[in-house]
Structure 1
């Protein structure tokens, strides 16, 4: 899957990259991936990244599948990284250690608030975006804590946070935010009055 629709910067962008690592190449891949993350961190707008290892206990499904999650503050800065010679060198260093196709997925808050199709409209002010985002995240987190809190209580803190935030992002991206932005569209994009 290629990364697309990055020509309109609109807030923080998160990228999930999935790669299948060749057996016996794990250490070399992890080092090359770490080097690439370090290189990306020097680029404008880089917010952070993490290499997610396969389950050490092994579920039996995808034992050699690695994920890299990283974020930039906007799509323009992400595009700058993606088009850089530094990234090309990093990909070349990783290539000998992987097999199959690399899968990339991009998500971000910005596309939730894309202007409706029709006459040109300005995007909503940031304070409105913040209010709508909070209105979605607060109840989503509350419900997830109610449903999963007892089950996840024995887990260490970091895995709990990672799972809950991943579920919040999924719920917000495909369920909560689209419904909220549709419901609050008149408030987010008030009709402009004619001055003629």
Structure 2
């Protein structure tokens, strides 16, 4: 019996050493790569991973959201979103009343969903000059969504991975990206509160 236990522990030991030999180069490479990234990269990804674990939904980890004050109507929130964006001099470059399109195509009523698109062309140009991949983030989007229980929510993209998720952005671009992030969070927050 003792010989069997000793052999079992020996096999486990050999497997652990083999796993260490196989895995350690990858761990070392990841550690070295992260050393080149923005100082907030690891915190950004850990936070997102926690949200994925908590919700089981990767999309939840890539957005910011705020529940709209229940006393506000869709029209009041719509007006506030536009007002706050205009106050920050971020241009409304388009709106998509998605619920209307769904109703037109399905012939059935659908809950309220409207997507707003905002852009500062000069900031967009800076981002594109750094990397054409930023085109996928343009323009900044914000969505007003009625959930299945009839509550209104405002969603926008979590910009932290774009700002902090890789090698540090050039200082001027990083400052501009943080400014856009702050604007979008202000539109989200004040839109949800109806705060002109």
TM-score of the pair, normalised by structure 1: 0.28
TM-score of the pair, normalised by structure 2: 0.28
Bigger helix fraction = 2
